[in-house]
Amino acid sequence: MAARLLLSVASLAVVAMPALAQPAKGRVVTDSLWSYALGTYKHTVIYLPPSYDRSSTRFPVAYYLHGFTGNETNWVKAGHLDATMDSLVAGGMREMIIVMPDGDDGWWMTSESLPDVPACRRALPAYAGDADSYCVPWPHYDDFIAYDLVRFVDGKYRTRADRTHRALAGLSMGGYGAMMLALQYPGTFGAAASHSGVVWPLEWAPDGILDRPAGSADSTWRRIRGGGVGASMRAVFGRDTAAWYARDPTHLLDRARARGAVLPALKVDCGTGDPFLAGNRAFRDALRSRGVALDYAEFPGGHDWPYWRTHVGESLRWLSERMR
C-alpha cells in the first residue's frame, strides 16, 4: 500500500513538472522589391528575431552580402546564419534584423560599363536563376543597397532607421562590398565586417598599378582576361587605373576622411589558407599606417563555407555590440 502511494505521488510529480522550454526561434522570410537603381525586381531573404512577432520593438539591422556566384539564400542555406542567430539570442545577445539581398555578380557597386542584356540572357550561368533578375539593365548595385533596399526595409519592417543601428557584413565579394559600401556611405552605415573579403582589389588591377602585396593572388591583368571572376571584375571595375582606384576601399576611406565624415567601425578576418590573405594583410597595414582602427583577425581555414559558418557568429556579435 505504501509503495503504491509513493509511486502515485511520484507519478503526479512527473506530470506536474513543466516541460522544458524550447529556445525561441527567429523567422526567415523572402521578400521582393522593385529597384530603381537596377531596373528590375530583386529578392531578399530577411531574418526576423524571435520577439519580432510578439512585440512592438524596433530593431537594429545588419545587411549580409553574398559572394561571387552566390545569391540571397546562401547565408541561410549554406551559412546557417539563422540558426547561429537563434543560438546567440538564446545566450543573451541583443536581437536584430538580418537582411540578405541578391547582388548577382555585380561586386555591390556601380559598374564601369553597361551590360549587354541580350548576351547575358543567352549565356546565363547555371547558378543565376531568373534571367530577368540576373541580367539587370542598370548595374548600380551600390545604390540598390544604400537607397532602394535600405528605404524598403526601413519602410516595411520595424527598424531603428539611423546609421548607428545599421551595419553591413559579407564574405569574399560580399566582404569587399561591405567595406566599400560602408566607406562610400558612412552616413548610412555605422559598422562593417568582412569575412575573407577581396578588400585589396588593386592586386587584381590592370598592369600599371603596383599595389600588389608580396604573396598576393597571382592575378595580373593578363591572368584575368578569361571568364569567371576575371571577366566580372573587368566588366565592373573597368580597364583604367582611375576606375580601379575609385572603387578601392582604402581610397574611399581617404576621401571620407578628407570630407570630415565619421568613419564606420571596421572588422576584417581571413583564413590563413585563403588566397586573399595577403590582400587582407595589406588592407590591415594600410589602415594602421593611417591611424584608423581596424578589428583584424586571422584563423586557420580556407576560402569556403566551413570557415564562414565557423566565424559568422563572431561578426554577428561584433556588429550587435556596435549597434547598441
**Residue 9 — very low, low, confident or very high, per pLDDT cuts 50/70/90?**
very low
* Amino acid at the residue 49: P
Number of domains in the chain: 1
202 or 217, which is more confident: 202
Domain that holds residue 310: 23-322
For the segment 258-280, the average pLDDT, to the nearest whole number, is 96
Give residue 235's pLDDT.
Answer: 80
Q: Which of 41, 183, 45 is nearest to 109 (CA)?
A: 183
Whether the per-residue pLDDT at 296 is higher than 50: the answer is yes
Q: 8 in a domain, yes or no?
A: no
Q: 15 in a domain, yes or no?
A: no
Do the Cβ atoms of 45 and 74 come closer than 8 Å?
Answer: no
Whether the per-residue pLDDT at 256 is higher than 90: the answer is yes
| Cα–Cα distance for residue pair 291/285, rounded to 1 Å | 10
Give residue 11's pLDDT.
Answer: 46
Q: 14 in a domain, yes or no?
A: no
Task: Indicate if the alpha-carbon torsion angle 224, 226, 227, 228 is positive or negative.
Answer: negative
Q: 1 in a domain, yes or no?
A: no
Q: What is the torsion angle, in degrees rounded to the nearest 10, for the CA atoms of residue 174, residue 178, residue 181 and residue 186?
A: 170
Q: What is the torsion angle, in degrees rounded to the nearest 10, for the CA atoms of residue 193, residue 142, residue 180 and residue 280?
A: 70
Q: 10 in a domain, yes or no?
A: no
Q: 260 in a domain, yes or no?
A: yes
For the segment 127-136, the average pLDDT, to the nearest whole number, is 93
Q: 2 in a domain, yes or no?
A: no
Condensed to tens digits (0 to 9), the pLDDT of residues 76-101 reads 999 999 999 999 999 999 999 999 99
Q: 129 in a domain, yes or no?
A: yes
Q: How many CA atoms lie within 13 A of 72 on its CB side?
A: 24
Whether the per-residue pLDDT at 191 is higher than 80: the answer is yes
**Residue 20 — very low, low, confident or very high, per pLDDT cuts 50/70/90?**
low
Helix 305-322 and helix 81-90, axial crossing angle in degrees, nearest 10:
40
Whether the per-residue pLDDT at 206 is higher than 80: the answer is no
Give residue 222's pLDDT.
Answer: 54
Q: Give, for 307, the enclosing helix (H) or strand (E).
A: helix 305-322
Give residue 221's pLDDT.
Answer: 52
CATH number at residue 48: 3.40.50.1820
**Residue 7 — very low, low, confident or very high, per pLDDT cuts 50/70/90?**
very low
230 or 148, which is more confident: 148
Q: Grid coordinates 513538472 are at which residue?
A: 17
DSSP state of 303: S
Give the mean pLDDT of the chain: 90
